[in-house]
Structure 1
Amino acid sequence: MPLLDWVLFFGGGLALYFGAEWLVRGGASLAARFGVPPVTIGLTVVAYGTSLPEVVVSGSASLQGSGGVALGNVFGSNICNVALILGLACVLRPLSINRRLVRREIPFLVGVSGLIVLMLADGMVGRAEGMTLLGLGMLFTWALFRLSDPRELREELEVDEYVVVRRTAIAGDIARVAIGCVALFLGGAWFVDGATGIARWIGISETVIGLTMVAFGTSLPELVTILIAVRRGQHDIGVGNIIGSNVFNLTIVFGSAAALVPVPFPGGGAWGDVAFSLVLPLAVMLFRGRAGR
């Protein structure tokens, strides 16, 4: 009996849970402390923290010459984030979607997706195109904080009744966010390693493991984080995390992979996945502020 695998499985699950708790709590506290709307923290600090597995997988794949894996990881993760994770959160509890996301950030996500479609048309995303995506990601992050309005935070606090921020040192909030990101990263890796070992022990094939355990593993941080955020009433952080993660994946993660080594595009059936990832954000825009069961 694989005792170590069971330890990794349950230990990883605990790390995911507490990592998400610390990340959401620290992020909400920092938002209120600095006068930044929670949705901005969700779109940046929380989203980038939960996207660490995608960074590792796509970066490693690119350096090893497996550009297709990097491409598939990015688009597969984005589809999973919206269709599975956001969808599951809506089924469990109706979500309020910040109208700012519908007006600004989601259209930006759609625009970047469309730009990548044009880049893929010639069958290759080169280094210059990768650097362009990296620049867009940095510009997006800068603009989010530059355009944040403190009045938006006060309105959200009145409407959504966010938790009162405790009088703790700023260093404590930053530490929560940092520890939460590390716990999510390690927890996801441990959980997948443990689950994979248990699956092998049971007799499940490597192919099935690759299509399920590993693919789902890189999206575990986003899944746990949005569930914790929704449970704590932090809808803006939860939904912002999903949208921000998708933008981060397309710009910083995929841009970095292409800047390191040009990424080939196989075409054919892969166009269906690309098109699906482009349509999903448009569907979220149709929710018009609320997504129910």
Structure 2
Amino acid sequence: MSVNILIIWFEFSICALFIGIAGTQLVHHADVIADKTGLSGSWAGLILLATVTSLPELITGISALILADAPDIAVGSVLGSCVFNLAIFTVLSSLIRGESLYRRASQSHILSAAFGIVLIGFVGLNILLTNKITTSYTTHIGVYTPAIIACYLIAIRALFMHERTQTSQFVELMTTGRYPDITLHQASFRYVLSAIIVMTAGIYLPFIGVQLAEVMGWHETFVGTLLIAGITSLPELAVTIAASRIGAFDMAIANLLGSNLFNIVILALEDIIFLQEPLLANISTLHAFSAMSAVIMSGVIIIGLVYRPNTRLFMRVGWDWVSLSLFAFYLLNGYVLYLYGGE
């Protein structure tokens, strides 16, 4: 039995390694493609980056539903990724010396964080509501799915209009041939290769999650939200660290908050491909706790962006009270899921 557990953990680690390395390369070569084609100077380039960093969540969710029949892992992966992305703010803050992250960041991120609260909160509300409905469904698609897609499109439009004038000068600087040593053909080939690796690992990941839940005695809600969500968020973590090294903190923040918006659209897509009945009617209501955790953490970030604290609680680590609060909510979410995930 112990050998079997070690084998499963080894397979889990291999998937994590592949997604972490290939996901990072995926983001890098997507940026090269955008630079070579001029997309980095348009909204299409920003959309390309957002979808790339969320590719593991999308592939893992589809695999969990179609191949592994594990809806709790599919939903847990998405909502857990939202919580994990917000916890990455703690990592980003710890990498900064001097001024607090929230004094350096643009307040324009408030809008994307607010849209995140609306979308994630709406999902949490529907998790609680859909599980209380006992009447038969006329379609397998929940009424919340078109509402999510519509709200996402409104959010993208509003963010584009809000950011267009503010980011135009920055984008011009970013589209001046930053990768002279690599051709568009090379970047495209490496992008596709990295995508295939991420997709392969993402397809296999839910099966490992189900096995882990069985051998460790954990519920799929806990496995999907904590373990698998952490792995599928590795590209976001890698991008955040890379951006911090060049001082592009606004880029890192926009990537994290934008990924959360796209994650909720992934839930809508999963609901469409889940043919039994509305997806949120087939999962544990405990996922609503993850949704509410993400809502509260998004609210804390908005407070930080408005209040702009500069007092550092731990000088070496570089945390302020905002980062400490985010880390505490992340730990609380994991603890609650561990305690009650099997109920």
Q: State the Cα deviation string for residues 47-79 of structure 1 (Å, max 9, x = none).
A: 211101111122233335433222211111111
* Deviates most, 275-284 or 85-94: 85-94
Aligned length: 274
- Within a 5 Å distance, the mapping from 1:162-177 to structure 2 comes to 165-166=176-177, 176=187
What SS class does the counterpart of residue 288 from structure 1 fall into?
Answer: helix
Amino acid across the alignment from 1:75 = L
Whose radius of gyration is greater, 1 or 2? 2
Distance 1:190 1:283, change over 3 A: same
Equivalent position to 1:66, from 65, 70, 87: 70
2: CA distance, partners of 1:139 / 1:131: 12
1: CA distance, partners of 2:245 / 2:199: 20
Distance 1:76 1:153, change over 3 A: same
Q: Larger relative contact order (C-alpha < 8 A, sep ≥ 6)?
A: 1
Partner of 2:149: 134
Amino acid across the alignment from 2:81 = S
Kept in 2: contact 1:16–1:221 (CA 8 A): yes
Amino acid across the alignment from 1:110 = I
- Within a 5 Å distance, the mapping from 1:56-205 to structure 2 comes to 56-63=59-66, 65-83=69-87, 85-93=88-96, 95=101, 96-102=104-110, 104-124=111-131, 126-154=141-169, 156=170, 165-166=176-177, 176=187, 179-180=190-191, 183=194, 186=197
Q: State the Cα deviation string for residues 201-256 of structure 1 (Å, max 9, x = none).
A: xxxx9549984753422111111111112223322221111101101111x20011
Deviation at 1:193, TM superposition (A): 7.5
For structure 2, which runs of at least 5 residues remain unmatched after alignment?
A: 1-6, 132-139, 310-317, 320-343
Kept in 1: contact 2:34–2:40 (CA 8 A): no
Residue 220 (str. 1) matches residue 237 (str. 2) = no
Partner of 2:261: 247
Kept in 2: contact 1:24–1:46 (CA 8 A): yes
Q: State the Cα deviation string for residues 230-288 of structure 1 (Å, max 9, x = none).
A: 223322221111101101111x2001112333112432x44432221110111111222
What SS class does the counterpart of residue 272 from structure 2 fall into?
Answer: helix
Deviation at 1:183, TM superposition (A): 2.2
Deviation at 1:146, TM superposition (A): 4.6
For structure 1, which runs of at least 5 residues remain unmatched after alignment?
A: none
Distance 1:130 1:228, change over 3 A: same
Equivalent position to 2:248, from 229, 234, 247: 234
Equivalent position to 1:286, from 303, 307, 314: 303
2: CA distance, partners of 1:225 / 1:208: 34
Deviation at 1:141, TM superposition (A): 2.9
Distance 1:271 1:78, change over 3 A: same
